Structure 1
């Protein structure tokens, strides 16, 4: 089994248009949640979200590309530009054939769907643009990344709701570790902040009307976000031979299914995923200094996740930092695991733990060290990134310093 390292990272999200901007926001504990600026927002019960503010697609793409790229694909490409640029890799010859892309998304081209439903049902038109299907399909972003950077190896999309990115990164990790590929571009992208996307989530009655306060006694629900996070995963020996800068090592992954309920989380499923990731990484519970929690800010998720962490880490739990950066960048659904993995990279490389913002009051059922409101300096050598999705589909990544 080969070691797998991260040699490039890129992002665009509500906190910033780069990894450096996002790290700065994490350090400041800055919350990017605010009023939504979308069409028909007055018809929504929920009027807040974590949007990529001031985004101008024409500043990044030409008219032909805009006709082909949904907002979520645009986010994926921008994040990939940063990640692949940082990696220093050029995909030609044998390397192109042994490099691929696996991305996670839940909604895919939801903005394109929303716009074209309006064209047909609201405006009464009988024709839509011929590129609607290629623009809205869930594999569009992965396809465009493969074409843009000549990635000719295994390429596909994973859609497992809020665990999509972690599943995608876990699959990419397995491909490199097993030798199926030398390099994989992976992560996730999502752009659900359109009228239909927000209206659908309203129906679940799990959305907050003010802000996201994970693990807090006064929490009132989740807040949607948008964006993308993309990483370059590489065989350790391949990276070392070319003198690449290594950001972190992905040491293990585990995936479980609750097999119980379509929306209610299971403590046992979360526990098995965390235990499995530790086992796969050959790490002990006491090796873990930080967990980036799923931490949605809903009543059910937060207490279930805290109970699972307390049980898995037992006596070590009171010395373990756990935070939810969804309190700052919102719940990016299929992209959330990828954006949150940045907090793990920051903890390992820079010794700074991103906080749980907006925290107000202790909930006895979430009585862990949730790093409330203020970032913290700490020496972290290993950490976990949790993702627990609707459908009971769980994916946990274990990272360590290389």
Structure 2
């Protein structure tokens, strides 16, 4: 980006209107995902467009109506936790604490500062699902109940363990907003830094829902794909033949700090989060509004906060749930926001869940990280299994292979049960990942 680029000038001045003046940089990333357990591996897998859904042996053995999922690949708990710690932390906390630790390491030794001015923000779909379902499955109600039971199922356990590990004594917040949780945790951390309440934060999301009872519950709801004979063909965002999502597990965390602080300490900056907004449908406990009006409002508000117009967006990371009502509502929202842009069409659209599956509370944070890397490298990942149809009319869905474009801001969208909607605007610094750094 040249010194004369108007977008660069915008980033160096206070934002106009109601937007805050404080700039917030992303200086570290850590992931544990079905696409890989390092940022570099996950990024490469998403760019490949190869779905990661597989049969889960436990689901096959139990004869569940859905026998597939997207488990985390390449995670070694022993690299992060002692034997005693592994007994105290359930699967959810292990994934979250490990991903957060990677993000802090990635940010560099200068990231640590005043503990009282450092916060932790964790998004999760609810209680520690794996541990809770384990208790339900075994029905343990006697004196043999493990002493670690309560700490393992506490909704705020992951956030607490992250704060303990990194001695962060500021806000320790757990956001539970269904599948918007990760995006909202990141956005709320950004707002806290902008408001001057803290100087830095570790923020992201985690969920580990690949437990038989949880699969059975989502299958009963009709949310999961039944393509058990072809798991890699099951996740198909916006495609007219979609029949539900594939459930996955994962964690993703970002380190956030004031851009001026990051520049002073010579940190590598992935980019900035320049816009964030949420809105609620207030219509149905699990179904979205058909018109996507509140998701459109969240997107528009986030862009306004960033000082951008729809025409400035390089690509959109769509929520892309692979459910018929969800994709239809999101498509309507995208047409509302971008239909009147100068180009007359939507920007290129990615939908990462076609590769990773549906990561619940981790999804929004994971996709924000990937979208920021893609925006910096000028690459939009392909959506697997997309064959088109009426529901995707007017959307520029990227297929087959990554599409190249100039580095530009990305818009990442999240929706969830309860009518939750969130949008993040990610402004990149061109990265060196594509060059093999």
TM-score (norm 1): 0.95
Paired residues of 2:110 and 2:265 also in contact (CA < 8 A):
no
Residue among 231, 240, 243 paired with 2:263: 240
Query: Partner residue of 2:323?
Result: 298
State whether structure 2 residue 427 is matched by structure 1 residue 400: yes
Shift of 1:69: 0.7
SS in 2 for 1:180: coil
Give the 3 Å change call, closer, same or farther, for CA 54–243 of structure 1 in structure 2. closer
Give the 3 Å change call, closer, same or farther, for CA 269–193 of structure 1 in structure 2. same
Query: Partner residue of 1:349?
Result: 376
Query: Partner residue of 2:115?
Result: 96
- After superposition, residues 143-154 of structure 1 pair within 5 angstroms as 143-154=160-171
Give the 3 Å change call, closer, same or farther, for CA 185–237 of structure 1 in structure 2. same
Query: Partner residue of 1:73?
Result: 93
Cα distance between partner residues in 2 of 1:180 and 1:73: 26
Query: Partner residue of 1:278?
Result: 303
Paired residues of 1:189 and 1:334 also in contact (CA < 8 A):
yes
Cα distance between partner residues in 2 of 1:319 and 1:159: 31
Query: Partner residue of 2:390?
Result: 364
Cα distance between partner residues in 2 of 1:163 and 1:31: 22
SS in 2 for 1:286: helix
Shift of 1:334: 0.7
Cα distance between partner residues in 1 of 2:52 and 2:251: 15
Aligned residue pairs, count: 398
Shift of 1:248: 1.1
Cα distance between partner residues in 1 of 2:428 and 2:111: 26
Q: Which runs of 5+ in 1 are unaligned?
A: none
- After superposition, residues 116-131 of structure 1 pair within 5 angstroms as 116-120=135-139, 126-131=143-148
CA deviations 1:93-139 (Å, max 9, x no partner) are: x5222111001001331111122223326xx8553101111111111
Residue among 122, 125, 128 paired with 1:109: 128
RMSD: 1.7
Cα distance between partner residues in 2 of 1:36 and 1:139: 28
Cα distance between partner residues in 1 of 2:379 and 2:134: 41
- After superposition, residues 1-400 of structure 1 pair within 5 angstroms as 1-38=21-58, 41-53=61-73, 55-89=75-109, 95-120=114-139, 126-210=143-227, 211-266=234-289, 267-316=292-341, 318-359=345-386, 361-367=387-393, 368-400=395-427
Shift of 1:55: 4.6
Cα distance between partner residues in 1 of 2:345 and 2:407: 16
Cα distance between partner residues in 2 of 1:90 and 1:129: 39
SS in 2 for 1:318: coil
Cα distance between partner residues in 2 of 1:56 and 1:108: 23
Query: Partner residue of 2:7?
Result: none
SS in 2 for 1:209: coil
Shift of 1:40: 6.7
